[in-house]
Amino acid sequence: MKFQDIQKMAKAKGINSFGMRKTDLIRTIQRKENNPECYGTERVEYCRELSCLWRKDCIALKFQDTPLGAAPN
């Protein structure tokens, strides 16, 4: 999801996104929705939230942080 779309979502929920990074903004939205603040955490290893709006980005973030040729822990 594009950062601008996330900012619009945050604004609709009454969240001021000024100066926030994508990860922090998504976690703030998760908190506001009474969901676990898990985006970009190690929880991705065992996450079963198949309908999570952030799932695709979160999984991609995990693989982005893994060096090429290295097996994930």
Q: Please give the tally of structural domains in the chain.
A: 1
pLDDT at position 64: 80
Share of the chain above pLDDT 70, in %: 88
Is the C-alpha dihedral spanning 71, 41, 51, 21 positive or negative? Answer: negative
In a domain, 73, yes or no: no
In a domain, 25, yes or no: yes
- Joined together, the tokens standing for residue 35 give 């969901």
Q: Which residues contact 56 (CB under 8 A, 6 or more apart)?
A: none
pLDDT band at 51 (very low <50, low <70, confident <90, very high): very high
In a domain, 70, yes or no: no
In a domain, 45, yes or no: yes
pLDDT at position 67: 57
In a domain, 34, yes or no: yes
Domain enclosing residue 14, as ranges: 3-65
In a domain, 57, yes or no: yes
Average pLDDT over residues 36-47: 92
pTM (predicted TM-score): 0.82
